[in-house]
């Protein structure tokens, strides 16, 4: 494939612009995706932070939900941060009764696991595949309560009452973090994803 993979950012709600910037800094050609036809030609996609139930609802309204699920099932690489992690999970705890996900990662996530907006915090975590600590920003973030055998745990909370909780995972072409690397100005998590997209293409 070409040097620069084309990676979309699901642009229905959430911190889309920050992901576009981080992807561009990581050597990808990045573009927003709102409609089914904008999925064509992608080498990968990012599911941003935001509000998972809102993104789920809007994905139906814009008609992008079903074609995106089909692409994920067929092996399209994806990276989900915060709400994106919830959307990539096969199972959700503490979600709304009508909430559905796109699925793909054999894990159970707990929505708003760290508490309300006022309980948001930051810490440095060791993330497998990235040299040096990564600044993790948790904003009403989920964590993975449990993962299946095929899921690789890349990072855990290192301090405080949530120490040991799973906050970054990978299964095949799918990567997910509880935290928001796109808001820190550090593109190393995106570089990890982009490199994985290149390898799979």
Residue identified by tokens 């979309």 is: 8
116: tokens are 């309300």
Of residues 8, 178, 201, 190, the one with CA closest to residue 84: 178
From 82, 123, 190, 191, the catalytic residue: 82
- In angstroms, the CA 138 to CA 162 distance is 12
Of residues 191, 109, 113, 23, the one with CA closest to residue 10: 23
From 18, 19, 123, 182, the catalytic residue: 182
- In angstroms, the CA 78 to CA 104 distance is 10
Helix (H, G, I), strand (E, B) or coil at 41: coil
Helix (H, G, I), strand (E, B) or coil at 68: helix
- In angstroms, the CA 55 to CA 12 distance is 6
Q: Is 19 a catalytic residue?
A: no
Q: Pairing state of beta strands 105-110 and 143-147? A: antiparallel
200: tokens are 């799979």
Q: Is 159 a catalytic residue?
A: no
From 19, 180, 190, 191, the catalytic residue: 180
Q: Is 180 a catalytic residue?
A: yes
Annotated catalytic residues are 82, 180, 182
């Amino acid at each position: 494939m070409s040097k620069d993979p084309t990676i979309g950012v699901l642009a229905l709600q959430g911190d889309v612009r920050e992901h576009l910037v981080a992807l561009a800094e990581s050597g990808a050609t990045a573009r927003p995706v709102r409609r089914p036809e904008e999925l064509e030609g992608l080498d990968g996609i990012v599911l941003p932070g935001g509000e998972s139930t809102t993104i789920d609802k809007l994905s139906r309204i814009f008609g992008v939900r079903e074609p995106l699920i089909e692409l994920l099932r067929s092996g399209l690489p994806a990276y989900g941060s915060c709400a994106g992690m919830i959307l990539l999970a096969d199972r959700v705890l503490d979600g709304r009764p009508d909430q559905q996900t796109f699925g793909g990662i054999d894990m159970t996530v707990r929505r708003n696991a760290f508490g309300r907006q006022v309980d948001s915090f930051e810490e440095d975590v060791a993330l497998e595949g990235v040299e040096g600590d990564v600044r993790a920003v948790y904003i009403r973030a989920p964590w993975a309560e449990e993962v299946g055998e095929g899921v690789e745990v890349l990072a855990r909370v290192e301090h405080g009452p949530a120490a040991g909780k799973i906050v970054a995972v990978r299964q095949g072409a799918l990567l997910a973090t509880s935290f928001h690397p796109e808001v820190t100005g550090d593109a190393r998590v995106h570089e990890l994803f982009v490199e994985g997209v290149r390898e799979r293409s």
